[in-house]
């Protein structure tokens, strides 16, 4: 019964989405206020019904309703409750429903917080979002219905993939999707602007906070995915350039370029057509990512098990949306121009450099992901493009980028005096060079060009980012002297610096060792002794495991006891390794069980990972920077002005 309610709710949501798509767009075209007003109501209604459907699916999982095919395939009686809930979005149909819910949520947010926008513009934005909702709802109802019945019902389910039975599944996909889907708002703003011809700088001002929030969530989502892969997959890596990872990273790179480009457009009215193109591209890459992951066109550990028919549907939808947007662009963009200029040494130049390098990076990731397919179709031969290529290719644009960040952070708009600039740069550059060379050389005892570049650049970024923050803290006149937008920018770049430090140090200095260990034996890795105290059998709620107890000592002093496991899940019978990790900001010690050896011992992978936590800490701080930036008073002044206007109006009529 409940699944049928869920399905019916989806159909209702679809009809509301159709209204939401058609009426506001027509209304904006005709200037009909009533039609335009439908948008907000339809959006609210659509959200309610999608939420109901989502709730029904959660109910089906919690009540172990194995007469629903999706539940039967991805749940199990003995599955812990927390995982029953997160299993809802653990596979294709359910995660698609979550996508739809989040899109409806963003639409609702836009309709609530868009009182500062002209009615026609807001109506167009909501209309475009409605078109997107229609596409995804149709996709779900026609090809990927989560409420499809299984007749006769199964007695027990096929269990959730053991790799997904982890708290990571509860937070990573939702955060990631909020970001991924959030770029649809920037996209909708761009379409609305092109439709109305309203392409002055205010469009950029309106788009910025929405884009920043989406970017924030995507940053968090990707970082969480990386952290989850690190501790869950058991091999200690944090990024594999897998097709699905790339699918989320490309929108992030373009989204970062977009944030920077929006700054220029809002400030100087420059690069309007370029910013429009970036807004279209960021969301198009989100759609492309969805296609790559769900169509089966590319091999990946993350790919949902799905089929080409669904692939064709998404591709058709992608084609309509993107070709429509780009046709509009080809029509409107030529009329956009400005006579504003800037000198060679200016923030505009640096932001242009930022954009060029980020877009090249995104293009390289796309090329690396699709090339195996291109080459296979062109020549029939299959090749693999993996980390060895990506790691090199990605550095080509990003090394210059991280060097430029430290230099460009405090350059003025329009024209920066060279002498003033060099003066500001002198201290950070020298300090960074000293730190960058001294730390690796004397503390870690290693040297290499790449290492020095990494440590110097990241030190420079961190010091540069701290300057405005430190200045503001030292002010004695009570005011902070620093706007939230500058503070946000500084914090975000600080996060980037931390991230680069983490990547540089862990890439240069991590130690990995595959050894055989039996109970009572001990080995030394990276200056720590690892002793296997014993092995025992352990029972989990839906798995049985062999657990090793490994004691770690540093020069005889006790450090920690780790308990890596080798689990066999009862239903799917697959084996999984659960690593034991001793975390720390300065280093992680990582132990994973490999295979059982003939003599009662086990092959064990021990890793020493210095400063790996800085990678995710850096991403967290970047997202925090974004959060700070959107609380800037330029977004709050409007609210104050509105309430003043209301008060004035009340007085006038009193």
Partner 1 sequence: MNRFVWPLIAVAALLVFLVMGLRHGDPRALPSPFIGKPAPEFELPTLKNPEVTVGTDNLAGKYALVNVWATWCVMCRSEHPFLMQLAQRKAIPIYGINWRDSRPDAIRWLDQLGDPYVASAYDEDGRVGIDWGVYGAPETFLIDPEGTVIYKHLGPLDPQVWEREFVARMNQREADQ
Partner 2 sequence: MKHALLFACLMLLSIAAMAIDQERRFDDPELQARYEHLISEVRCLQCQNQSIKDSNVTLAADLRREIARMIDEGKTDEEIADFLVTRYGEFALYRPRMTGKTLVLWIVPFLLVLLGVFALVRVVRHRVALPVGDDSDERQDP
- From the list partner 1, partner 2, none, pick the one residue 483 interacts with, judged by a Cβ distance below 5 to 8 Å according to partner type: partner 2
- From the list partner 2, partner 1, none, pick the one residue 574 interacts with, judged by a Cβ distance below 5 to 8 Å according to partner type: partner 2
Residue given tokens 């927390």 in the structure block: 82
Selected from 1, 34, 334, 379, the binder of partner 2 by CB under 8 A is 379
Which positions from 542 through 581 interact with partner 2, judged by CB under 8 A?
573-575, 577
Angle 232-237-243 from CA coordinates, rounded to 5°: 90
At its nearest, how many Å lie between partner 2 and the CB of residue 241?
Answer: 9
Selected from 58, 120, 163, 270, the binder of partner 2 by CB under 8 A is 270
Half-sphere exposure of 58 (CA within 13 A, CB side): 12
Q: Report the chain's C-alpha Rg in angstroms.
A: 27
At its nearest, how many Å lie between partner 2 and the CB of residue 619?
Answer: 20
Which positions from 207 through 266 interact with partner 2, judged by CB under 8 A?
233, 235, 237, 240, 242-243, 263
**283/337 Cα distance (integer angstroms):** 24
Q: Which CA distances in Å does 552 have to 161, 239, 528, 530, 608?
A: 32, 27, 7, 5, 12
Q: Are 311 and 295 in contact (CB under 8 A)?
A: yes
**329/350 Cα distance (integer angstroms):** 25
CA quadruple 631, 633, 637, 640: dihedral positive or negative?
Answer: positive
- From the list partner 1, partner 2, none, pick the one residue 344 interacts with, judged by a Cβ distance below 5 to 8 Å according to partner type: partner 2
Which positions from 578 through 597 interact with partner 1, judged by CB under 8 A?
none
Query: Residue 199 phi/psi, 5° resolution?
Result: -115, 35
Tell whether residue 537 is a contact of partner 2 (CB under 8 A): no
At its nearest, how many Å lie between partner 1 and the CB of residue 569?
Answer: 18
Q: Which is nearer to partner 1, 63 or 338 (CB)?
A: 338
Tell whether residue 363 is a contact of partner 2 (CB under 8 A): yes
- Helix-then-strand count for the chain, H and E: 18, 10
- From the list partner 1, partner 2, none, pick the one residue 277 interacts with, judged by a Cβ distance below 5 to 8 Å according to partner type: partner 1
Selected from 82, 301, 434, 450, the binder of partner 2 by CB under 8 A is 301
Helices 201-232 and 243-268 meet at what angle, rounded to 10? Answer: 150
Which positions from 203 through 222 interact with partner 1, judged by CB under 8 A?
none
Selected from 364, 462, 496, 503, the binder of partner 2 by CB under 8 A is 364
Tell whether residue 538 is a contact of partner 2 (CB under 8 A): no
At its nearest, how many Å lie between partner 1 and the CB of residue 79?
Answer: 24
Residue 539, SS3 per DSSP: strand
Which positions from 99 through 128 interact with partner 2, judged by CB under 8 A?
none
**226/248 Cα distance (integer angstroms):** 11
Q: Are 264 and 216 in contact (CB under 8 A)?
A: no
**In the structure encoding, which two tokens stand for residue 596, read together?**
């059982």
**479/604 Cα distance (integer angstroms):** 57
What's the helix, strand, coil split of the chain in %, to 5?
A: 65, 10, 20
Give Cβ neighbours of residue 520 (< 8 Å, ≥ 6 apart): 531, 532, 533
Q: Which CA distances in Å does 181 have to 38, 285, 390?
A: 23, 11, 26
Which positions from 403 through 442 interact with partner 2, judged by CB under 8 A?
412-415
At its nearest, how many Å lie between partner 2 and the CB of residue 386?
Answer: 3
Residue 621, SS3 per DSSP: helix
At its nearest, how many Å lie between partner 2 and the CB of residue 104?
Answer: 32
Tell whether residue 594 is a contact of partner 2 (CB under 8 A): yes
Which positions from 288 through 347 interact with partner 1, judged by CB under 8 A?
291, 295-299, 308, 311-312, 315, 318-319, 322-323, 326-327, 329-330, 333-334
Half-sphere exposure of 570 (CA within 13 A, CB side): 13
- From the list partner 2, partner 1, none, pick the one residue 33 interacts with, judged by a Cβ distance below 5 to 8 Å according to partner type: none
Helices 167-196 and 243-268 meet at what angle, rounded to 10? Answer: 40
Q: Which is nearer to partner 2, 150 or 385 (CB)?
A: 385
Which positions from 369 through 408 interact with partner 1, judged by CB under 8 A?
370, 373-374, 376-377, 380, 382
**105/127 Cα distance (integer angstroms):** 14
Tell whether residue 478 is a contact of partner 1 (CB under 8 A): no
Selected from 447, 595, 642, 644, the binder of partner 2 by CB under 8 A is 595
Tell whether residue 514 is a contact of partner 2 (CB under 8 A): yes
Tell whether residue 396 is a contact of partner 2 (CB under 8 A): yes
Residue given tokens 């060099």 in the structure block: 422
**CB atoms near residue 234 (< 10 Å):** 21
**In the structure encoding, which two tokens stand for residue 324, read together?**
């429509």
Selected from 356, 404, 431, 469, the binder of partner 2 by CB under 8 A is 356
**219/256 Cα distance (integer angstroms):** 10
580-582 β-sheet, strand order: 511-517, 602-610, 587-596, 580-582
- From the list partner 1, partner 2, none, pick the one residue 415 interacts with, judged by a Cβ distance below 5 to 8 Å according to partner type: partner 2
Selected from 144, 145, 248, 284, the binder of partner 1 by CB under 8 A is 284
- From the list partner 2, partner 1, none, pick the one residue 315 interacts with, judged by a Cβ distance below 5 to 8 Å according to partner type: partner 1
Q: Are 227 and 163 in contact (CB under 8 A)?
A: no
At its nearest, how many Å lie between partner 2 and the CB of residue 277?
Answer: 13
At its nearest, how many Å lie between partner 2 and the CB of residue 205?
Answer: 12
- From the list partner 2, partner 1, none, pick the one residue 330 interacts with, judged by a Cβ distance below 5 to 8 Å according to partner type: partner 1
**In the structure encoding, which two tokens stand for residue 432, read together?**
């960074």
- From the list partner 2, partner 1, none, pick the one residue 489 interacts with, judged by a Cβ distance below 5 to 8 Å according to partner type: partner 2
Selected from 17, 360, 552, 617, the binder of partner 2 by CB under 8 A is 360
At its nearest, how many Å lie between partner 2 and the CB of residue 524?
Answer: 14
Selected from 11, 82, 305, 648, the binder of partner 2 by CB under 8 A is 305
Tell whether residue 386 is a contact of partner 2 (CB under 8 A): yes
Number of residues that bind partner 2 (CB under 8 A): 72
Q: Are 305 and 92 in contact (CB under 8 A)?
A: yes
Residue ranges binding partner 1 (CB under 8 A): 273, 277, 280-281, 284, 291, 295-299, 308, 311-312, 315, 318-319, 322-323, 326-327, 329-330, 333-334, 370, 373-374, 376-377, 380, 382
């Amino acid at each position: 019964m409940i699944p049928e309610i869920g399905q019916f709710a989806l159909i209702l949501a679809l009809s509301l989405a159709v209204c939401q798509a058609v009426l506001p767009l027509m209304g904006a075209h005709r200037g009909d206020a009533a039609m335009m007003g439908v948008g907000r109501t339809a959006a609210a209604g659509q959200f309610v019904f999608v939420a109901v459907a989502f709730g029904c699916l959660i109910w089906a999982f919690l009540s172990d309703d194995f007469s629903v095919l999706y539940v039967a395939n991805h749940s199990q009686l003995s599955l812990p409750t927390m995982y029953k809930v997160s299993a809802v979005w653990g596979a294709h149909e359910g995660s698609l429903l979550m996508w739809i819910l989040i899109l409806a949520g963003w639409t609702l947010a836009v309709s609530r917080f868009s009182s500062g926008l002209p009615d026609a513009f807001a109506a167009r934005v909501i209309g475009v979002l409605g078109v997107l909702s229609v596409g995804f709802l149709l996709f779900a109802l026609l090809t990927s219905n989560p409420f499809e019945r299984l007749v006769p019902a199964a007695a027990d389910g096929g269990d959730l993939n053991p790799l997904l039975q982890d708290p990571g599944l509860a937070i990573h996909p939702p955060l990631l999707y909020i970001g991924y889907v959030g770029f649809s708002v920037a996209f909708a703003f761009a379409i609305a602007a092109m439709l109305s011809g309203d392409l002055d700088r205010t469009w950029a001002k309106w788009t910025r906070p929405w884009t920043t929030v989406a970017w924030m969530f995507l940053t968090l989502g990707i970082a969480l995915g990386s952290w989850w892969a690190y501790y869950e997959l058991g091999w200690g890596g944090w990024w594999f350039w897998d097709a699905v990872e790339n699918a989320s990273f490309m929108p992030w790179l373009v989204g970062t370029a977009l944030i920077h480009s929006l700054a220029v457009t809002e400030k100087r009215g420059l690069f309007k057509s370029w910013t429009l193109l970036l807004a279209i591209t960021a969301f198009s890459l989100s759609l492309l990512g969805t296609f790559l992951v769900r169509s089966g066109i590319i091999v990946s550990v993350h790919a949902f098990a799905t089929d080409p028919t669904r692939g064709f549907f998404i591709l058709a939808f992608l084609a309509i949306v993107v070709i429509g947007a780009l046709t509009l662009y080809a029509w409107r963009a030529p009329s956009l121009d400005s006579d504003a200029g800037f000198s060679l040494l200016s923030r505009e130049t640096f932001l242009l450099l930022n954009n060029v390098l980020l877009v090249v990076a995104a293009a390289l990731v796309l090329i690396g992901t699709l090339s195996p397919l291109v080459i296979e179709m062109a020549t029939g031969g299959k090749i693999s493009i993996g980390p060895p290529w990506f790691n090199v290719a990605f550095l080509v644009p990003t090394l210059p980028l991280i060097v430029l960040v430290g230099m460009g952070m405090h350059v003025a708009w329009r024209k920066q005096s060279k002498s003033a600039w060099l003066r500001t740069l002198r201290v950070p550059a020298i300090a960074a060079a000293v730190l960058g060379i001294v730390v690796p050389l004397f503390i870690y005892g290693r040297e290499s060009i790449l290492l020095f570049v990494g440590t110097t650049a990241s030190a420079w970024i961190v010091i540069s980012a701290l300057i405005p923050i430190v200045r503001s803290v030292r002010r004695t006149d009570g005011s902070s002297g620093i706007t939230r937008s500058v503070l946000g920018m500084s914090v975000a770049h600080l996060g980037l610096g931390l991230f680069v430090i983490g990547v540089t140090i862990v890439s240069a200095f991590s130690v990995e060792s595959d050894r055989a260990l039996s109970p009572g034996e001990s080995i030394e890795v990276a200056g720590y002794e690892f002793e296997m105290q014993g092995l025992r059998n352990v029972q989990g709620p839906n798995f049985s495991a062999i657990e090793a107890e490994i004691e770690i000592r540093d020069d005889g002093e006790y450090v920690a006891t780790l308990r890596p496991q080798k689990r066999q899940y009862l239903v799917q019978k697959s084996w999984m390794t659960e690593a034991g990790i001793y975390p720390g900001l300065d280093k992680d010690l990582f132990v994973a069980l490999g295979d059982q050896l003939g003599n009662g011992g086990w092959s064990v992978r021990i890793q020493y990972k210095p400063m790996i936590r800085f990678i995710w800490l850096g991403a967290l701080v970047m997202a925090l920077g974004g959060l700070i930036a959107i609380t800037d008073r330029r977004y709050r002044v409007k609210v104050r002005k509105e309430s003043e206007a209301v008060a004035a109006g009340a007085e006038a009529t009193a």
